[in-house]
Structure 1
Amino acid sequence: MTKILAFSEESGGLYELLGKAAELCQGDRVAALLLSDGVPGAVDECFFNGADIVYRVSAEGVADESDLAGTLARLADTVGVDIYLISSTKRGKEIAARLATRLGAGCVTDVIDLRREGDVLLADRYTLGGNSVATEEVLTARKVYAVMPYAFGRPERDASRTGQTVDVELAAGGKKKRLLERKPKAREGVRLEEAERIIAVGKGLINQDDLRMVSDLADAIGAEIACTRPLGMDLHWLSEDRIVGLTGVKAAPKLYLAVGVSGQIQHTVGITRAKTIVAINKAADAPIFKVSDYGIVGDLYAILPELLAQVKKGG
């Protein structure tokens, strides 16, 4: 019997959910609902990342949130799905809510961790604006979890795995939408979620022109530039897709260099999976130092040029 089903409209998110589902399945089959849009190898990649069975539905046009929720709900009865893992994107949260309503299931959104303690499945999620973590248990027989993108990381890919593919029809209902054009979202540089090195800037940077100094160091060490919410949303010094934190990207780089970042919880929740955090701040009591592996108390305008000089010298 299939007990856990994963769904995400973004392939990387789907593979991540499948990896967690395989970890939690306790010997039951893991399933994926895949919107088939003709991408070669998509079904095989689901198998390689943990799926035992792939339910493939045509993605011609634009699938309505209600139709997707209906399709997912139908699988609960036909194949016995008890646990749903859905990416907690804007559309994903709406689908999760509609699905839970149809099933009479409990629903937890913005999940950052899922784990079993005995027979109990526990979900962690940020609450109170990111100032604390709530651990929640869903008591209904069927459970819906909307998981924050990149909360778990990509599973180890096993290219020897195979599985079963079943074509299913989209549950029709409501007004239909017609896809007129598909355009990739314009982005600056690589995805921060995939960057190995990140230099993040905060309000300790005085002028927008000073980003050149940061950019020079980033180029020298092969890093991407990120920022706190005020620099992206309020000052518009950098694009919004470079914001790290509660309302932005959750990053997991090998190196995270925080420059002039105070370290409020709304920002640091986005770097909990960073391997090494280095902070530069002139305030010795800045909260960023509490989550840093290494800290430098001093003027960033004196420290960054010296760092760049040392990098160029190979020091």
Structure 2
Amino acid sequence: MRGLLFSDIPKNAGEMASYFSKKMDIDIISIHDESVLKYGASKVYFYDSGFSDNLSDAIIKLNDKNKYDFIFISSTVLGREIAGILSARTGMKCLTEIFYFDNNDKIITKRLFYGGKTVMEESSDFHLFTVAPGISSADTLEKISESENLQLQKSIYEIKSRLDKNSGGEDISDAKIIVSIGRGVGSKENIQKIEPLVDILHAKLAGSRPVCLDYKWLSEDQQVGLSGKKVRPDFYIALGISGQIQHIAGIRGAKTVIAINKDKTAPIFDECDYGIVDDLFSVVDKLVNELKK
């Protein structure tokens, strides 16, 4: 079995390679980053910059040449656009946002459904997939892959200008401990009351969609949820987060979820491993004092 992986984010390429290389021989198409050579691919095809049209052309040509059994596309903004183009141009049906793949006797995949409320296990004959971030840890190997630079055709697109998004927060993707805040924190000024807990746990600070996008108390890069980051920490501490299904979809990979909320009916308590119904600031102060001992 042979698979072709595409990602415009090197870290995602590493996660996918670490996962799929245990199941088949893989090649990777990635934006140029030498770290991708250490993830176990038979060959890595690098590009320096590209758009959905010329990258789709390159994937189709490689597939025609090498006859891959499967094509896996990282579910980034660019990746999802490429997957749609590939499906339309080649006629391949595409299964989206998978986080599990098995092809021993038949193709079995798993993906979140109903906004992350359930897991759907499916059997199919599909050969094109988009892969949810965080499918595996990115494990490097001693062996260095062979590489080649792709020569992309000229794109029909041209960048006229760029608009920076609200970013600048810490990268929460690989965090082992995440302290995440919701609207229950009350205000941006109250975040300073949470920071001692973040510091003493050596954690990363994250937030729900309203906190990051609506109120802009934190950056977009710190948003956890269906439209934000999907994280896999050892501990996820949710402070003042109600726990709507869109947020829960982003923390399915967490090993332990601890929720603190004064509303005992908050949906987060149906999803957490440990829950405390109390004023979050009072609990945070007590936790910090205990951890200092």
- Pair in the same fold by TM > 0.5: yes
1:24 match: secondary structure: coil
In the TM superposition, what is the alpha-carbon distance from 1:238 to its structure 2 partner?
Answer: 1.8
CA change 1:302–1:151 in 2 (3 A) is same
* Structure 2, unaligned runs of 5 or more: none
Task: Please list, as runs of the form range in 1=range in 2, the aligned pairs for 1:90-109 lying within 5 A after superposition.
Answer: 90-109=77-96
CA deviation after TM superposition for structure 1 residue 264, in Å: 1.9
Bigger CA drift: 172-181 or 196-205? 172-181
Amino acid at match of 2:18: G
Is the contact made by 1:123 and 1:135 (CA closer than 8 Å) also made in structure 2? yes
Match of 2:19 in 1: 20
SS in 1 for 2:224: coil
Are 2:161 and 1:165 equivalent residues in the alignment? no
1:117-153, Cα deviation, whole Å (9 max, x unpaired)? x33222222333333333344425xx21111222323
**Does the C-alpha gap of structure 1 residues 287 and 178 become closer, same or farther in structure 2, counting only changes over 3 Å?**
closer
The equivalent residue for 1:123 is 109
1:227 to 207, 210, 218: 207
Q: Say if 2:282 is the partner of 1:295.
A: no
Cα displacement (A) at 1:89:
0.9
Alpha-carbon distance between aligned partners in 2 of 1:235 and 1:169, rounded to the nearest angstrom: 43
Query: Corresponding residue for 1:277?
Result: 257
Aligned ranges 1:25-64 → 2 under 5 Å? 25=24, 29-36=25-32, 39=33, 42=34, 45-57=35-47, 59=48, 62-64=49-51
Which runs of 5 or more residues in structure 1 are unaligned?
Answer: none
Instruction: Please report the RMSD computed on the Cα atoms of aligned residues, expressed in angstroms.
Output: 2.5
Residue 194 of structure 2 aligns to a residue in which SS?
Answer: helix
2: CA distance, partners of 1:35 / 1:207: 39
Residue type at the aligned position of 2:107: L
1:214 maps to 2:194: yes
CA distance 1:32–1:300, shift in 2 (3 Å): same
Identical residues among aligned pairs (%): 30
CA contact (8 A) 1:113 1:152 kept: no
Q: Distance in 2 between matches of 1:15 and 1:308?
A: 36
Equivalent-residue separation in structure 1 for 2:289 and 2:188 (angstroms): 22
SS at match of 2:83: helix
Seen in structure 2, the aligned counterparts of structure 1 residues 32 and 278 have a Cα distance that, compared at 3 Å, is same
| CA deviation after TM superposition for structure 1 residue 90, in Å | 1.0
Measure the CA separation in 1 of the matches of 2:174 and 2:164: 18
SS of the residue corresponding to residue 216 of structure 1 reads helix
Checking the alignment, whether the CA contact within 8 Å between 2:211 and 2:217 is kept in structure 1 is yes
Query: In 2, are the aligned partners of 1:21 and 1:50 still within 8 Å (CA)?
Result: no
> TM (normalized to structure 1)?
0.83
User: Is 1:6–2:2 an aligned residue pair?
Assistant: no
Most deviating of 254-263 and 127-136: 127-136
Given the alignment of the two structures, is residue 89 of structure 1 paired with residue 72 of structure 2, yes or no? no
Check if 1:146 corresponds to 2:134.
no
User: Secondary structure, in 3 states, of the residue corresponding to 1:295?
Assistant: strand
User: Match for 1:51: what amino acid?
Assistant: A
**1:160-189: per-residue Cα shift (whole Å, max 9, x none)?**
x2443344432x2552647999x9977434
Q: Secondary structure at the match of 2:250?
A: helix
- How far does residue 213 in structure 1 lie from its aligned partner after superposition? 0.6
